[in-house]
Amino acid sequence: YEKLYTLGKGNFGKVYLVEDRESGEQYAVKVVDKKMFKSGDQRQHAQREQSICETFASGLSHKNIVRVYDVLTEDDYIYIVMEYVEGGELFDKIKQSKGLAEPTARRWFREIIEAVEYIHDNNIVHRDLKPENVLIDNTQRIRICDFGFGNVFKERHQVLSTYCGSPFYAAPEMVTATPYRGPPVDLWSCGVILFAMLTGSLPFQGDEMPQLFQKISCGQYTIPPYVTRDASDLIQKLLCKDAKDRITAKDCLLHPWL
């Protein structure tokens, strides 16, 4: 591959746009620098991401998840070769228009949930769903990316204990450091994304982290009155404080709003 330019930077490496010298095809390559790891937890996250991406590269694929073509490893680096999605982030679309028209939000949110249902059915949890990790391709189709905090669970009721992801999208069981099941955590994050798509703002905000975490743990938020009844109902079912009562991806797709 020939490196063209840098697409983005993270804590442990960069994502480059590259071109296959023979075919001229362009790809995004995430380069994880193992030398940047300062703890066993960080190494573990990278190993999990590598394992999940290898699973995708070996045949697991969905139209709303960024495709992984190959995973290459060296002593100091992991290279994840993915399709290049040109359309930008959902975050930018929300920011530009301060919220989306409901028909657009419905179409894109359904695609997000279809992707989430697919990974959950394949025993994978994302744990960092947010508009920055949702890309929109040049056909206006949603593509979920970045499984850096992903994990594999053996059974639906398996309990996880690593607290990760973005605080604004974190479920109550995350911010209270309670052992949790993976799928409900993703569905909470989807609820925050849906709220942002329809309102252009976040349901939980605070000047300091303790204040933010208090609001999340209490489920303290207000849906603006202009959000339609069915959309409000779905947000409430996703942002259900009790994880065991939170709606699943499968049931979400059966909700009247979708």
Please, are residues 66 and 144 in contact by the beta-carbon 8 Å criterion? yes
Q: How many residues does the chain have?
A: 258
Please, are residues 180 and 186 in contact by the beta-carbon 8 Å criterion? no
**Cα gap 9→7, rounded to integer Å:** 7
Q: What residues are annotated to the active site?
A: 128
* pLDDT attached to residue 157: 75
**Cα gap 9→31, rounded to integer Å:** 10
* pLDDT attached to residue 66: 96
**Cα gap 183→247, rounded to integer Å:** 10
All domains of the chain in start order, with CATH? 2-83 (3.30.200.20), 90-252 (1.10.510.10)
Would you say 30 is a known binding-site residue? yes
Quote the pTM value: 0.93
Mind giving me the DSSP string for 119-146? HHHTTEE-S--SGGGEEE-TTS-EEE--
Taking only the tens of pLDDT, the chain with its 258 residues reads 899 999 988 767 899 999 999 999 999 999 998 887 776 677 787 888 899 999 999 889 999 999 999 999 998 899 999 999 988 899 999 998 889 999 999 999 999 999 999 999 999 999 999 999 999 999 999 999 999 889 888 877 788 878 888 999 999 999 998 889 999 999 999 999 999 999 999 999 988 999 999 999 999 999 999 999 999 999 999 999 999 999 999 999 999 999
Alpha-helix runs per DSSP H in the chain:
40-57, 90-97, 102-121, 172-175, 182-199, 209-218, 229-238, 249-252
* pLDDT attached to residue 159: 86
**Cα gap 16→28, rounded to integer Å:** 6
Burial class (CB in 10 A: 0-12, 13-18, 19+), 127: buried
* pLDDT attached to residue 90: 96
* pLDDT attached to residue 72: 93
Q: Give me the helix-helix angle, 182-199 and 102-121, nearest 10°.
A: 170
Please, are residues 8 and 89 in contact by the beta-carbon 8 Å criterion? no
